[in-house]
Copies of this chain bind each other. A is one copy, B any other.
Amino acid sequence: MKSSFSGNLSFTIFGESHGSAIGVTIEGLPVGFQPDMEALRAFLSRRAPGNSPLSSSRKEADLPEFVSGLFDGRVCGGPVTALIRNTDARSSDYDTNGDGSQKSQNVPRPGHADYTAELKYRGFQDYRGGGSFSGRMTAPLCIVGGLCLQLLAQRGIAVSSRAVEIGGISGSAEALEQRILQAKAEGDSVGGIIEVCAAGVPGGLGGPLFEGLEGRIAQTVFAIPAVKGIEFGSGFEGSRLRGSENNDPFRMDGGEVITASNRSGGILGGISDGMPLVFRVAVKPTPSIGKTQQSVDIISNANTDLTITGRHDPCIVPRALPCMEAATAIVLLDALLERKKEEPWT
């Protein structure tokens, strides 16, 4: 019951990686909003596979068809539903263990949801390509987020992201890329750390307790497969500082209240303070690797080895960047819609 994000903006992501389509149904987009479809496609292409030697060679056009909610190119009031047809699904990659003898659903891939999906769905899950656990499900998330980014831009808010670490090293884009290619060559994978920044966020968004921006961003970001950690502002390092070191002094700056530093990451008490919103996300190394791994056969209840074939990303970080921006934009738009509702009652 929780493929849905429920707030002032609400949406449900549906589909399975190797089913007929994936997509999303969205409620709450401002009526009259005219999406820039060219910009949306450009945004989605950053997430799409097959565009780089760093990613899976699965080629999906990933062009969404909007089947409802738009009239004359503008949001007309009802839910907006967008579909992406699955056109290049090679289910056979998931049917065997290399020698054709084992179906992957019987031998769960380490680090994947194969085994836990089996527990949850009692054998009825669509196991092909990870089903509804596939990283492919972030394409609909990026449709929503891409639309939100356009709306935020109209309010002067810009969300950006970058890889600050890959496989434990930081450095130039070339160094990071090298790290990925090296892992790929070894039939292995690497993870990394992404930093997200939202500039232009007005103060006053969010709230205490479950309304806090950190919690809402965290829940949305953890919906992206492979995310295992998040920290805002000084985060884990800040926990090692004194209060006198970690507190951001308030200062006047041209008639505006600012903070002289931004160790809070732009959020105090769950509410934006007008400074840039900054957080970092830990992305685990892609669990699908070429190396043979230890697993079990859940039919025969016996230990076995597993060699995964198929097309996989040696590092998900580059394609995860737009997903992080999407998740951030979704929460910020949701908070902005809430803010409208909170405007003074007269």
Is A53 interfacial (CB 8 A cutoff)? no
When distances are taken between beta carbons in the complex, the residues of chain B under 8 Å from A1 are: 8, 10, 27-28, 211, 338
Smallest beta-carbon distance A278→chain B, Å = 11
Interface size of A as a range:
35 or more
When distances are taken between beta carbons in the complex, the residues of chain B under 8 Å from A97 are: none
When distances are taken between beta carbons in the complex, the residues of chain B under 8 Å from A242 are: 167, 183, 188-190, 285, 289
- How many copies of this chain does one complex carry? 4
Is A64 interfacial (CB 8 A cutoff)? no
Contact B211 A2 (CB under 8 A): yes
When distances are taken between beta carbons in the complex, the residues of chain B under 8 Å from A15 are: 67-68, 78, 81
Smallest beta-carbon distance A186→chain B, Å = 8
Contact B252 A301 (CB under 8 A): yes
When distances are taken between beta carbons in the complex, the residues of chain B under 8 Å from A203 are: 115-116, 119
When distances are taken between beta carbons in the complex, the residues of chain B under 8 Å from A250 are: 108, 110, 115, 294-296
Smallest beta-carbon distance A171→chain B, Å = 14
Some 13 contacts from A to B, beta carbons below 8 A apart, are: A16-B69, A32-B124, A76-B132, A77-B117, A81-B81, A112-B268, A115-B268, A119-B203, A212-B222, A214-B228, A228-B232, A247-B287, A251-B303
5 new A-B contacts, CB < 8 A, other than A3-B209, A222-B270, A231-B236, are: A3-B211, A13-B79, A20-B67, A76-B124, A250-B296
